[in-house]
Structure formats: C-alpha cells, structure tokens
Structure 1
Amino acid sequence: MGSLYQEVILDLARNPRSKGLVPSADGQSHQINPTCGDDITLQLRLQPSSDRIAAVTWDGHGCAISQASASMLVDVATGLSTPELLGRIALFREAMRSRGAIAPDEALLGDAVALQGVSRYSARVKCAMLAWVAAEGAVADLAIA
C-alpha cells in the first residue's frame, strides 16, 4: 500500500491539478514553510451568492509532498461550503499531527489519505499541511472581503 501511496504523491507532484492563479479569486492566501522554503499561494472562488467553493487554484514550488497535497486539497475542497472545508482541514490536521495513530478518512479526504505515512515525520507534516493552511487563510480572506 505504501508504494501505491508513493506513486499517487509523485504523480500529483508531476501532474498537478488546478495549478495556476486566476485574476478573479474571492479569497487568497500565501504561505511559506520556513523550514524548507516550500511556498504556496492558494485561491478560492465561490459560487455566486453562496459560500460553496466553485474552484480552487494554486501556484507554488516545493517538494513533491507539498505540491501533491495542494492538488489533493483541490479535489477535497471543490463543491464544499466554507464551514465544511474548515472541518475537512481540521480532520486532515488531526491525522497529520497524530504520528500515524489516526488514519485519514478516505470518504472525507479523498487522495489525501496517501499522505498518512508523512504524519510520522514532523518536518514533513509542515510540507503536507502547507496548502491546507493556505486554504484556511483564503477562507479568512473571504470573511474580510
């Protein structure tokens, strides 16, 4: 199973989903991992007159884990309401901080379950969390706008 997860991470890092920023974002956040220099700018676009996420776009650079995690977040977030997204981020954070004790729920987190092994390495957890923290910031930016 570990090699399958590794393949998913590498594939998403090489073929990212929704990479590229757009001028029409409703909320945006830029986050940097000072430990390794990974950075991600993430944008949310809402459905008109709604708190539902119509699209997630991002750009950045870094390790395969941070880049794949951003693509995984796109799949999880699209179509959710902002409170639902914040709930998924909390679940992902809990799994990542558990040092392998809590398995991510595939029904709620999709391909992000492939990052389960990362939770055993605290330095790599920051890489996996980078896009998810950026999504939290983008939701906060929505509230300000």
Structure 2
Amino acid sequence: MALDNLRKLYQQVILEHYKKPRHRGITDPVHRHQRGHNPSCGDTIELTVQLEESERQIAAVKFEGEGCAIAMASADLMADAMRGKTIPEALQMVQSFQNMMKGEGEFPREHRKLNVMQGVAQFPVRIKCATLTWHTLKAALEHQSVESADEFVSNEENN
C-alpha cells in the first residue's frame, strides 16, 4: 500500500473513533478513576475502569472529556484494547504505546489498530495528545482506590 494511502487510512480511523467513540461514558461500577490534563493544549480526560470480580483483569474502560481528534481517538482505541487485560499486561501496553510514540516499535497483530497512532510521532507537538489517556490509565491502575483520583495528572513532564 502506498504511503499516502496508508496515511489516509490512518486519518480515517482516527476521525472515526473521534466522531463515534465506542467507549465514552462511565463504567458501572467504578473500581479505578483518574482525571488527566494536558496543559499545553487543554485536552482533559476522565477515565473510569471496571475490573473483573477477581480485580485482576480489566472488564471495561470508559472515558469522558474534551480534546482534539487525536486525544479522543487515542482514548477510544485504548479503551477497546484494554478489555480483558490483566493490570500488568495493561501497564506493559502503556509502556509499549509510549515507546511507539518515540518511534521505538509497534504493536503486534492482535493490537494492530493501535498502530494507526504511529503517524502522530511525526508531529512531536501532538504526541502529548496521543499519550494523555495512556498516562492517565497508568495512574489509575497504579492507585488502589477510587478516592486517590481527585487531582488531575499531567503528561507534560513525560514527553
């Protein structure tokens, strides 16, 4: 596939997830909660996570917030990819996504949808938009309670 066609396909997928997100809302129940903010552009995200009964696997991730197409599409794609993952697997995926944004690798076939975000790495100022939700999820999973999420986390210092 020509590079121009691939770029158009990636843009189409990002716009689709931005315009018609599949994971917008709040999980019921909420086992983890975290708010994230990107001060340089104003993107905000509020993530909720529902865990399976054993609290070892993610049942659902949902989000609310406002931001650019890249930030919201990244949130929707991430929420979809996290379903059924253990917390350690999810944290590893966060690291893999951050590495991909630095131009270091991509996701394997079973998560190839996430690779549409690779094109963002060509625009350093937009990397924070793509990684905000992932940074927020990491904070949510590392806290053991819902109450610890009253303040916003920021990904300003990470990119």
- What's the TM-score once normalised by structure 1's chain length? 0.91
User: Do the aligned residues in 1 keep the contact of 2:99 with 2:105 (CA within 8 Å)?
Assistant: no
After TM superposition, the runs of 4+ consecutive aligned structure 1 residues lying more than 3 A away are none
Quick one: distance in 2 between partners of 1:47 and 1:23? 11
Consecutive unaligned residues of structure 2, counting only runs of 5 or more, are 1-5, 148-159
Which residue does the alignment assign to 2:8?
3
The alignment's C-alpha RMSD in Å is 1.7
- CA deviation digits over 1:77-119, x for unaligned, max 9? 1100000000011011001022xxx342242533221111101
**Identity, % of aligned positions:** 33
3 and 43 in structure 1: CA distance in 2 versus 1, 3 angstrom threshold: same
Which residue does the alignment assign to 1:115?
117
Candidates 35, 38, 46, aligned match of 2:40: 35
Which residue does the alignment assign to 2:23?
18
User: Do the aligned residues in 2 keep the contact of 1:72 with 1:110 (CA within 8 Å)?
Assistant: no
Between Structure 1 and Structure 2, how many residues are aligned?
Answer: 142
105 and 22 in structure 1: CA distance in 2 versus 1, 3 angstrom threshold: closer
Deviation at 1:50, TM superposition (A): 3.1
- What's the TM-score once normalised by structure 2's chain length? 0.83
Task: Give matches, 1:30-109, under 5 Å.
Answer: 30-98=35-103, 102-107=104-109, 109=111
Kindly provide the amino acid, as one letter, of the partner of residue 95 in structure 1.
M
Consecutive unaligned residues of structure 1, counting only runs of 5 or more, are none
Which residue does the alignment assign to 1:130?
132
